[in-house]
Amino acid sequence: MIFRQLFHQETGTYTYLLASRKGGEALLIDGVLDRADRYMQLLQQLELKLVKVLDTHVHADHITAMGELRDRTECVTVMGVQAPIDVVSMRVDDGEMVTIEGIQLQALYTPGHTIDSYCYRMADRVFTGDTLLIRSTGRTDFQGGNSLAAHKSIFTKLLTLPGDMLVYPGHDYKGDTVSTIAEEKAFNPRLQVASAGEYAHIMDNLNLANPKMMDVAVPTNIAMGLGQSDAENPNWALTVGQLMALQESSEFALVDLREESERAANGQIPGSVHAPYNRLENFIGAGGLLHGMAGASAKPLLYYCTYGERSAMAVQASQRAQGGGLENVSHLVGGIAAWIEAGGPVEKV
């Protein structure tokens, strides 16, 4: 496995880069905007293709690199279902998997530091975000933080993991880089408590100043969706209302870009073809399924995903596809989430 722990000095933030092999797919956890150039350089040097970026929660102390990296690499942005963010490509719930080539992370919903905090677990390590730090824990006094919830998350979701599991936190301010579950259980001063009430008493009396960048970082991090003027470009975007009016006549060939797990959870718009976003290049290049379907005599293609982010990027990728860009491709604004909300029919897959 390729594993890099990157540090942002000014905010003490750790960013993690994961890949299973040189030349393969990569995932980045908790990137900082200021370091986007550095991540891009490292990806290039290690010959990696960034396919997913995720944040463990909406950060208050730095601006996330997710939007920037998505715009540069057309990767998929991932956050928890509770994240109060305008658009991400993909949302995960407790227990679900985030998958790239050769690597699986299990999402553990661990509210407390914030309402949307998640930890991500692999076989030998867990990325704890700000839920569990080395010899400390994340504050619980803003963004829906709750000290009792934090206690429950830490004690029931993290300290129950194997003792030798490595702990990679979202921050460190003292120079530590990694710990283990057993070490934190034994030596983390905040965890030497007899009850949730005792923990809450400690956390509710920390009297910390707000992070310097909080007033800028939180609103910016919440609004990192694709520019809506782009995604709603009438030349290649269709609204749910327009599609509903047209669907009876089957005017479009519907293409579902989501992953199997998302399709299994929510079903598909009836009659869709499946062409997952992570293999888009194969489908849109000469000889690919979508390239063939988009031929002049066929119906125009209508891409959709969960929220309309991947599909907007896929239209743009299709327009410049190798072996001749695809004409007549558009996407569904707001994705299947908007379709379902408007009462559109879905079928199980």
| 140 vs 330, beta carbon nearer Fe ion | 140
Secondary structure letter of residue 27 according to DSSP: E
CA dist 81 to 120, 191, 221, 285, Å? 14, 28, 15, 33
Comparing CB distances to Fe ion, the nearer of 96 and 130 is: 130
Q: How far is the CB of 323 from Fe ion (least distance, A)?
A: 45
For the segment 288-307, give every residue that binds Fe ion (CB under 5 A).
none
Q: Would you count residue 130 as binding Fe ion (CB under 5 A)?
A: yes
Residue 213 CA to its chain's centroid (Å): 22
Closest-CB residue for Fe ion?
130
> 234: which residues sit within 8 A by CB, 6+ positions away?
none
| Phi, psi dihedrals of residue 287, rounded to the nearest 5° | 90, -10
* From 24-32, 123-131, 180-188, 218-226, span contacting Fe ion (CB under 5 A): 123-131
State the minimum distance, in angstroms, from the CB of residue 291 to Fe ion.
44
If you ran DSSP here, which 8-state letter would residue 319 be given?
H
Query: Which of the stretches 66-74, 101-109, 122-130, 331-339 binds Fe ion when contact is defined by CB under 5 A?
Result: 122-130
d(CA 229, CA 11): 32
Task: Give the total of residues touching Fe ion (CB under 5 A).
Answer: 1
Measured at the CA of 41, the angle between CA 38 and CA 44, to 5 degrees, comes to 150
CB of 137 to Fe ion, least distance (A): 11
As a whole number of angstroms, the distance between CA 226 and CA 291 comes to 25
Least CB distance to Fe ion at residue 57 (A): 6
Minimum CB distance to Fe ion, residue 215 (Å): 15
- Whichever of 68 and 130 has its CB closer to Fe ion, that residue is 130
Contacts with Fe ion in 164-223 (CB under 5 A)? none
Q: How far is the CB of 138 from Fe ion (least distance, A)?
A: 6
Segment contacting Fe ion by CB under 5 A, of 129-137, 263-271, 281-289, 331-339:
129-137
* Closest of 152, 158, 156 to residue 133, by C-alpha: 158
- Residue 145 or 308 having the CB closest to Fe ion: 145
**H or E element that contains 229:** helix 228-231
Considering the complex, state which of residue 15 and residue 268 has its C-beta at the smaller distance from Fe ion: 15
Cβ contacts of 231 within 8 Å, gap of 6 or more: 225, 237, 308, 309, 312, 331, 333
CB of 136 to Fe ion, least distance (A): 12
What CA–CA distance (Å, rounded) separates 57 from 206?
Answer: 21
Closer of 130 and 262 to Fe ion (Cβ): 130
Of 73 and 221, which CB lies nearer to Fe ion in the complex structure? Answer: 221
- When the beta carbons of 214 and 340 are compared against Fe ion, the nearer one is 214
User: Interface with Fe ion by CB under 5 A: which range of 84-92, 130-138, 215-223, 272-280?
Assistant: 130-138
Residue 30 as a binder of Fe ion (CB under 5 A): the answer is no
Is residue 27 within 8 Å of 179, Cβ to Cβ? no
Shortest distance in whole angstroms from residue 211 CB to Fe ion: 8
Cβ-contact 339, 269 below 8 angstroms: yes
CA 300/CA 329 separation, integer angstroms: 6
Stretch that binds Fe ion, among 14-22, 124-132, 215-223, 232-240 (CB under 5 A): 124-132
Q: Would you tell me which residues interact with Fe ion (CB under 5 A)?
A: 130
